[in-house]
């Protein structure tokens, strides 16, 4: 086989792979994510989709933890190889303005090096009582890492019981890199237990549960490509 034929075959395969990835990510994000991206340029739009703190959708066990618009949801993909492991709720304000509260009761931990995050252990999953889950909340700091977490939960806090609706802190834009802050939002995920009483790595979506049944909202990107999640 000549080098030209091999090169041509390689180019065709590369083009096909590129088209597949484009269609895959485009289909995953449209039109719901298109609406969210447009909202970033006009945060006065989509006001009818803003959720309120404490809202409970149907008979879901979790209450809504803050005021804001649900932007990105579980298993959204922003780039090849990425799978979003929770939900992002955007307040539409600057950092340090919008309050955040617990969605479900449990035992709160804030590790000594956590500037913007806490995690709450629920000994009994409300959907499956024989397993334990963890509810993770993050981005509660400004771009430089100045924490917005409540003074009630200083670094090193371990296993402090909190009721649903307990004040946690304020929405921020901390990414770990002061030169590249994220948009102001709260990221929440439902994290699996490792079977030994410890939480698993939330960054890997395989270590998290689809949050849809916990919040009573369509929060799974595989099933919801066109609807901004909302309930009264």
Residues 46-89: tens digit of each pLDDT: 999 999 999 999 999 999 999 999 999 999 987 777 899 999 99
Please check the confidence at residue 7 and state whether its pLDDT lies above 90.
no
Please check the confidence at residue 28 and state whether its pLDDT lies above 80.
no
Domain 31-215: top CATH class: mainly beta
- Distance separating alpha carbons of residues 45 and 38, to the nearest angstrom: 9
* Biggest CA-to-CA distance, the chain: 71
Task: Determine the pLDDT at residue 232.
Answer: 79
Tell how far CA 206 is from the center of its chain: 14
| pTM summary value | 0.87
Q: What does the domain layout of the chain look like in residue ranges?
A: 1-29, 31-215
Q: List the beta strands (DSSP E) in 66-162.
A: 69-70, 87-90, 99-101, 106-109, 118-122, 133-138, 160-162
- Distance separating alpha carbons of residues 184 and 202, to the nearest angstrom: 20
Least confident piece of the model among 4-8, 30-34, 81-85: 4-8
Task: Determine the pLDDT at residue 30.
Answer: 58
Task: Determine the pLDDT at residue 3.
Answer: 53
How confident is residue 223, by pLDDT bands cut at 50, 70 and 90?
Answer: very high
- Distance separating alpha carbons of residues 94 and 171, to the nearest angstrom: 9
Task: Determine the pLDDT at residue 5.
Answer: 53
**Using one digit for the tens of pLDDT, what is the confidence trace for 95-151?**
999 999 999 999 999 999 999 999 999 999 999 999 999 999 999 999 999 999 999
């Amino acid at each position: 086989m000549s080098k030209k034929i091999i090169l041509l075959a390689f180019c065709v395969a590369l083009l096909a792979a590129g088209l597949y990835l484009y269609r895959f990510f485009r289909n995953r994000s449209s039109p719901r994510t298109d609406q969210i991206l447009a909202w970033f340029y006009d945060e006065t739009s989509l006001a009818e989709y803003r959720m309120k703190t404490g809202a409970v959708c149907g008979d879901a066990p979790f209450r809504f933890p803050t005021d804001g618009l649900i932007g990105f949801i579980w298993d959204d993909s922003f780039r090849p190889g990425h799978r979003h492991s929770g939900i992002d709720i955007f307040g539409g304000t600057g950092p340090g303005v919008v309050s955040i509260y617990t969605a479900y009761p449990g035992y709160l931990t804030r590790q000594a090096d956590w500037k913007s995050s806490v995690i709450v252990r629920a000994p009994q999953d409300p959907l499956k009582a024989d397993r334990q889950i963890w509810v993770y909340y993050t981005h509660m700091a400004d771009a430089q890492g100045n924490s917005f977490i409540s003074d009630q939960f200083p670094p090193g806090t371990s296993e402090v019981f909190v009721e649903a609706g307990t004040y946690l802190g304020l929405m921020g834009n901390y990414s770990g890199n002061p030169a590249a802050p994220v948009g102001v939002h709260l990221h929440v995920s439902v994290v699996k237990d490792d079977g030994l009483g410890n939480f698993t790595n939330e960054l890997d979506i395989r270590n998290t549960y689809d949050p849809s049944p916990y919040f009573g909202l369509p929060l799974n990107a595989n099933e919801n490509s066109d609807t901004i999640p909302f309930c009264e």
